[in-house]
Chain A
Amino acid sequence: MTWLTSFPQLKNAWLRDLQRIIDDAFRSFTRSYGDLIEGLFSPLQTLLIWFERLLLGTPWPIILLVVAGLAWGASRNLRVVIGSVVTLVLIGLFGMWDDTMKTISMVLAATLLSIAVGLPLGILMARSQRVQRIISPILDIMQTMPSFVYLIPVVMLLGIGRVPGLIAVVIYAIPPMIRLTNLGIRQVDPEVLEATDAFGSSAWQKLTKAQLPLALPTIMAGINQTIMMALAMVVIASMIGVQGLGQPVLRAINNQYFTMGLFNGFAIVGIAILFDRISQAWGKRLQKHHEARHD
């Protein structure tokens, strides 16, 4: 009666063969195209290094000023400004300034890349039922697949370093950007679109003068989520060589440095809150004309 208590599985030898065949195929693919693909992604390397140099090379008082300015511009709220500055000052005092700048540059690069790729994809998805049917399940897979799993092919293709890290972060963080762009555009009032049609707008005019501006608050929510997810992924991506706050966390786990882990963890939480408050406040301000509605 063993066939009832243990599931009848394929022969072990078969499974081993299957795995070996796929692995071999992927490995030979990597050998023949790895350099080419690495070449394709080299502009990303330049972008990342440029970002990192910018943030690390700029004197800290200027960074504080810029962050304060951004917080004020986005929220017009003094509490958000003070909160942001205090967070950064504490991070600096506890000796995590450089790691934090590296993490921020990674998150910013990943967010920009997610917007650059996700916005057009979201627009395409909103325009065509078929594209939506194709992209939706892919996004589901990207979001539920444990992030460690897709680190493997990325590392096999591109090795260890910043660029594979960035790609892993983008894969993890891009789905909300695509989804919410799609949703935002689909939610635009059809009556408004009918009016733009009636006045003879071209598809591009309709997109830029009505759909995107009206979807912007939703798109902003997508950007906010993308930033948060990128930040979460940066820690995991430190396993494949991404520098920043994730590395000390990794070291702390390996060596059971409790306090070190805690400090770096708090730094991540700190900049997460900072990013969140600033981007949400900005999204809210974009929405103000809708909120004044009383009908």
Chain B
Amino acid sequence: MTDPIGIEIRNLYKIFGANPEAHVEAVRAGMTKAELQARHHHVLGLSDINISIAPGCIQVIMGLSGSGKSTLIRHINRLIEPTAGEILIEDRNVVEMAPEELREFRRHKTAMVFQKFGLLPHRTVLDNAAYGLEVQGMAEAERNRIAMRWIERVGLNGFEKSYPSQLSGGMQQRVGLARALVNDAPILLMDEAYSALDPLIRYDMQTVLLDLQQEVRKTIVFITHDLDEALRIGDRIALLRDGSVIQQGTAQDIVLRPADDYVANFVQHVDRGKVLKVGAVMQAQHGFDALPEAAIAAGASIAEALQQMAASRLQALRVQDAEGRAIGVIPFQAAINAYTGNAYTGNAHTESAGTVA
């Protein structure tokens, strides 16, 4: 198993059209997507994207349709050529790789799951799953053995001899997932991989992904429209609009401190009680004369905290870290405020506040 590796996206621009280079400067100087479209008939795909994805972390990218999510993820393995900027992976700039080097990079460092599956219709499930290894030149018996393991892992035993057209959409997507996992690449790119699945299977596949992430830590870029999905699996979330990053940070940051109305709209229907963690809304211990007796873990949700306080009629709880040390206090009112989405009154957590773009 390979060590996880990070992805560094710096000043990335993508302009679609006949002569994209000519307009980079104008976009750098602040021309908007609408202006570029109206005046020069070029489409602004991405504008000044800076995202740094830590090794072994799940980075979720969200945004409305047409905001540039697919364009962005396709830059990471250079299925789309950028107009300007760089993408650094293991100290190499993907943008400058020669064709041969790029091919090796795609074979060994990245694997991708597509929204519309992208399966080879003339190949069986097994041959589809083994495709990545086949391209690498691995012998048939060996690659089939590995592919079978992952086909079983995504719950498709017995279907390995079927053709994609004989499977339901959800099953085809699992083939896509198996095909990507078979490669055992350190970077996994998932473009709305679960959008075509029904809610139950989707939850199931999220669990598969999270379980896998416990076993084999990969760096995962995950695109979704679904906020609940983003909050469940994302270590960090970036929100795109018109090709620009509007906000990035942890799920807590984005729910608690939306950068603008666009983001606020995105998060307004989320179940805050479940999503928000005690650790993100607690207050510093100084300023309290005596710490409360009853304690709660920083990783617990505020719904749990409220339940505990209501059950024992307490006004506040002591917040503990994993080792049982007291790290803060959560008053009943602060928990209620966070739960209902009233103006956040606690003293902002410096670590997370600093990451708001």
Contacts and interface: CB of A to CB of B under 8 A. Distances in A.
B173 to A, nearest CB: 12
Contact of A201 (B79, B116, B135, B183): B135
A191 B114 contact: yes
B170 to A, nearest CB: 12
B135 A200 contact: yes
Interface in A173-200: 191-192, 194-200
Nearest to B163: A289
A290 interface: yes
B79 A199 contact: no
Interface in B256-279: none
A294 B163 CA distance: 13
A127 interface: no
Contacts of A9: none
A200 B136 contact: yes
Contacts, number: 77
Interface of chain A, helix or strand or loop or mixed?
helix
Interface stretch (B42-50, B104-112, B308-316): B104-112
A205 interface: yes
Contacts of B116: 191
A292 B165 CA distance: 6
Contacts of A209: 120, 131, 134-135
A214 B122 CA distance: 7
A293 interface: yes
- With a 10 A CB-CB cut-off, give which of A200, A205, A289, A290 has the most chain B CB atoms: A200
- With a 10 A CB-CB cut-off, give which of B107, B114, B122, B134 has the most chain A CB atoms: B122
B106 A198 contact: yes
A197 B120 contact: no
B132 interface: yes
Contacts of A210: 120
A290 B120 CA distance: 11
B79 to A, nearest CB: 6
A214 to B, nearest CB: 6
Given A192-B120, A214-B122, A197 B165 contact: no
Contacts of A289: 121-122, 163-165
- Chain B interface extent, by class: 20 to 34
Nearest to A214: B122
A290 B114 CA distance: 20
B153 interface: no
A237 to B, nearest CB: 37
A198 B120 contact: no
- With a 10 A CB-CB cut-off, give which of A199, A205, A209, A292 has the most chain B CB atoms: A199
Given A205-B135, A290-B165, A197 B79 contact: yes
B221 interface: no
B207 interface: no
Contacts of B232: none
Contact of B121 (A192, A198, A200): A192
B219 to A, nearest CB: 16
Contacts of B136: 200
Interface in B103-160: 103-108, 110-112, 114, 116-122, 131-132, 134-136
A54 to B, nearest CB: 33
Nearest to A286: B122
- With a 10 A CB-CB cut-off, give which of B104, B111, B120 has the most chain A CB atoms: B120
Interface in A200-226: 200-202, 205, 209-210, 213-214
B119 to A, nearest CB: 7
B121 A202 contact: no
Interface of A: 191-192, 194-202, 205, 209-210, 213-214, 289-290, 292-295
Given A198-B112, A198-B118, 14 more contacts: A191-B114, A195-B120, A197-B79, A198-B110, A199-B111, A199-B179, A200-B105, A200-B136, A201-B103, A201-B135, A202-B135, A210-B120, A289-B163, A292-B163
Interface of B: 77, 79, 103-108, 110-112, 114, 116-122, 131-132, 134-136, 163-166, 169, 179, 183, 189
23 contacts: A191-B114, A192-B120, A194-B79, A194-B114, A195-B112, A195-B120, A198-B111, A199-B107, A199-B131, A199-B183, A200-B104, A200-B136, A209-B120, A209-B134, A209-B135, A213-B122, A214-B122, A289-B122, A289-B163, A289-B165, A293-B121, A293-B165, A295-B169
